[in-house]
Amino acid sequence: MEKIYLTYNDIADFRLVYITEAHAKDSSWPVGYAKEMNITKHKTYGQRCTTAERLMKDKSLTIPTLVDDMENSVNKAYKAHPDRIYLVRKDGRLAVAGKRGPWGYKPALNASKAWLASYKETGVEPELVIPKTKKDDSTTDARRPKIRHDAASTKAIVGSWDMTTKFSGNDIPAVMVIRAKDGVLTGTWTSQGMDMAMTDLKLTGNKLSFQRSIGGGPSLDFKGTVDGDKVDGSYSGPMGDLKCQGKRTG
């Protein structure tokens, strides 16, 4: 982003908005950089501003930077967590609408660079670009055949579940909500402030399987066993196999 800013700041206004920290060292999903820099969850606006200043200095950023308020107004308005890129035309319409990071970040960055290069060369604003991620190339859920279950099967899994995924020695909490209509299961996975659709939901006997994405990125495949009010299984995906367990709450 810094390179794009330095190249195109003569034809576009840039703003970097620092939002709530996605992977603070005291969060459920800390990263090495946060531990090294001692970045903790923001409790005050001053702390958030200080962290933003440290980030700019450490990464040698010169992009004009704003800091979201403690009500996370920008984050909520733009569904920005953990990161997201938008490019806006002069008339207020979107030029590039990036998908959520981390997988949506680079495609949106490349699309923004191409859009700005075209505009700088021709003086004409291209139309809206919605960058694709790897997930977009797969068959959509709407085009897949519907998997229908009998009433007993749907009753065994429908409801709300508190789920915990093991990742790098940390527990990542989530809420899984599964519904049924005419024998077809649908679900939503909520974690780290994001709601993610669950697809290919199937319960065969006591064996549960489904897919879900991470922030619009590649899918994770879940396979597990339902035992009364408990679920025990694991994900397989780009990060390897991740243990995941849960219990029914409603």
Domain positions in the chain are 2-135, 141-248
Instruction: Read off the pLDDT of each residue in 7-15 and give the average, rounded to a whole number.
Output: 95
Distance CA 202, CA 230 (A): 16
**pLDDT given at position 135:** 52
| Contact of 244 with 170, CB cutoff 8 Å | no
Answer yes or no: pTM beyond 0.75.
no
Q: H-type helices in the chain, by residue range?
A: 2-8, 32-37, 45-58, 73-78, 105-122, 151-157
Domain 141-248 has CATH 3.40.50.11750: no
Tell me which residue has tokens 């950089």: 33
The model's pLDDT over 199-242, given as tens digits with 9 standing for 90+, comes to 889 999 999 999 987 655 567 889 999 999 999 999 886 666 88
Type of residue numbered 16: L
| Contact of 126 with 118, CB cutoff 8 Å | yes
The model's pLDDT over 29-88, given as tens digits with 9 standing for 90+, comes to 777 888 888 999 999 999 999 999 999 999 999 999 999 999 999 999 998 988 999 999
| Contact of 148 with 183, CB cutoff 8 Å | yes
Distance CA 168, CA 136 (A): 28
Look at domain 2-135 and name its CATH class: alpha beta
Residue 204's alpha-carbon distances to 35, 50, 209, 220, in angstroms, are: 42, 52, 9, 19
